[in-house]
Structures are given as structure tokens and as C-alpha cells.
């Protein structure tokens, strides 16, 4: 009887001096796996234009119906993305999202990607509806944001050559 107790305690004692497997979150953060799927972001091209063309294929692919896209038409005086169409409204309801990454797969321009950010808590449901302003990356340094005023006819296609190259 007593031997059992000592046996048990000896394990406790041994473990006490081993390095812990838990970490002191949030002071310390564990690196995530390379293919971790977290909060989304909407990317831009090198010239600052948005990649998203408002096609809503991400929304169609989303099994949780978490994405709402409302498109509008670009003009050369007010250009958001190459080609004719851009997303005027783009929202993801993070409460619904199951981080499956289907949206990323569906996107023809690699505009929507899932990052490794997982700290998404908020205390109001409303704050968990991420709008386009929250999702879109800032323009590359030195480049203007959107809308841009561009020379007439300079972006006839919806995807820039840069977008046709798939990246790692």
C-alpha cells in the first residue's frame, strides 16, 4: 500500500524537474505548422492594385457560407483591381468560418489566403465580421493604395501576369 504511494510520488518528483511541455501563452507562442490555416488576408499586386476581382467563387466554395462579396465595376479613373470587376464589399464572418481553406483553393487570382494568425477572439459578434478594410493588406511600400487613377486601357485583363505564376 505504502510502496504504491511512494511509487506514484516518485513519478511526480521526477517530472517536476523535467522541462514542461506546456508554454506560457500568451507571453510565449508556439510556432505554427507551415500549412496552418488561420485568419484570412486579401493580397495585392506589386503595383498596389487589389488581386480580388469580386468573383465570389470563394463565397460559392465556402461550406460555411461565411463570405459575402458584392462586386462593382472598375473605371480607369477609379481602379481597384485589374480588369472590369472588383469587390466593393468583401466580408468574412469569422464566427462561421471553419478554416477549411476552400476559399483559397477557389480563388482564381490568389487574392484570398489563410495566414497563420489564430488570435481572433473578440467580445462582440459584430467585431468578428471582418470587412474588406480589415482583410486587405496595405499596399507595398512606396506604392499607392486603391483606388488608383491609371492611364486609360492599361489594365484590360482581370489578372496580371504576376497572378498567373503560382507561388510556394
Partner 1 sequence: MADLINLFIDDVAVSVPKGTLIVDAAKRADIDIPVFCYHPKLKPVGMCRMCLVQVGRVKLDRGTGQPVLDANGSPEIAYGPKLETSCTTPVEPGMRVITNTDLVKRAQKDVLEFLLTSHPLDCPICDKGGECPLQNLTLTYGPGVTRFDYADKQHLDKHYPLGELIFLDKERCIQCARCIRFQDEIADDHVLGFYERGRKMQIETMSTPGFDSKFSGNTTDICPVGALTTRDFRFRARPWEITNVPSICPHCPVGCNISLGTRRSAKGGGEWEILRVMPRQNEAVNEIWICDKGRFGHHYARSQARLQKPLIKKEGRLVEATWEEAFSLIADRFRAANGKAAGWLGDRVSNEDAWLFGKLFREGFNSAQLVNRPHVAGLDLVARYGVGVGTNLGNLGQGDVVFIVAGDVEETAPVHMLRLKAAVERGAKLIVANARETKMDRYAAISIQYQPGMDTQTVYSLLASVSNQQSAISSQVAKFAPSDNKIKAAGQLIAEAQNLIVMLGDERPYPVMVQGQYTDAGRALAQACANLVVATGHIGKANNGLLPLWPHNNTQGVYDMLSAQGAEALSGEVKALYLVGTDPIGEGQNLPPTDFVVVQELFLTPTAQQADVVLPALAWAERDGTFTNAERRVQRYYKALPPTGQAKADWEIFRLIAEKFGLKWSFFSAEGVMHEIAAQVAAYAGLDYVCLAETKEEWPPVGTSSDLYFGGTAYDNRGGVGAQTKSLFEINGRSELKWIEPPPPSGQSIEPRRLNRPGTLIDQSAIYEVRLRAAELVKIEA
Q: Which residues bind partner 1 (CB under 8 A)?
A: 53-57, 59-60, 68, 70-73, 83-85, 88-89, 108, 156, 158
Fill in the DSSP letter of residue 47.
T
- Residue 102 CB-half CA count within 13 A: 15
Q: Is 109 helix (H, G, I), strand (E, B) or coil?
A: coil
Asked whether 70 and 87 are in contact (CB, 8 A), the reply is: yes
- Give whole-number Cα distances, 10 to 2, 13, 15, in Å: 12, 5, 9
- Helix, strand, coil content of the chain in percent (nearest 5): 20, 15, 60
84: partner contacted, choices partner 1, ligand SF4, none (Cβ within 5-8 A by kind) = partner 1
73: partner contacted, choices partner 1, ligand SF4, none (Cβ within 5-8 A by kind) = partner 1
Nearer to ligand SF4, 78 or 120 (CB): 120
Judged by CB under 6 A, the residue of 47, 64, 143, 162 near ligand SF4 is: 64
Judged by CB under 6 A, the residue of 39, 44, 55, 160 near ligand SF4 is: 55
Span near ligand SF4 by CB under 6 A; candidates 19-27, 57-65, 122-130, 149-157: 57-65
Amino acid at each position: 500500500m505504502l510502496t504504491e504511494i511512494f511509487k506514484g510520488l516518485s513519478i511526480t518528483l521526477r517530472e517536476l524537474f523535467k522541462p514542461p511541455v506546456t508554454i506560457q501563452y500568451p507571453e510565449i507562442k508556439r510556432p505554427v505548422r507551415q500549412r496552418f490555416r488561420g485568419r484570412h488576408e486579401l493580397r495585392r499586386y506589386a503595383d498596389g492594385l487589389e488581386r480580388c476581382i469580386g468573383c465570389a467563387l470563394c463565397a460559392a466554395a465556402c461550406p460555411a457560407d461565411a463570405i459575402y462579396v458584392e462586386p462593382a465595376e472598375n473605371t480607369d479613373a477609379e481602379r481597384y483591381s485589374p480588369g472590369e470587376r472588383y469587390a466593393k464589399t468583401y466580408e468574412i464572418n469569422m464566427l462561421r468560418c471553419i478554416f477549411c481553406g476552400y476559399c483559397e483553393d477557389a480563388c482564381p487570382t490568389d487574392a484570398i489566403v489563410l495566414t497563420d494568425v489564430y488570435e481572433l477572439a473578440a467580445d462582440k459578434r459584430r467585431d468578428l465580421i471582418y470587412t474588406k478594410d480589415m482583410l486587405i493588406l496595405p499596399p507595398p511600400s512606396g506604392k499607392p493604395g486603391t483606388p488608383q487613377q491609371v492611364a486609360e486601357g492599361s489594365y484590360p485583363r482581370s489578372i496580371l501576369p504576376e497572378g498567373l505564376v503560382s507561388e510556394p
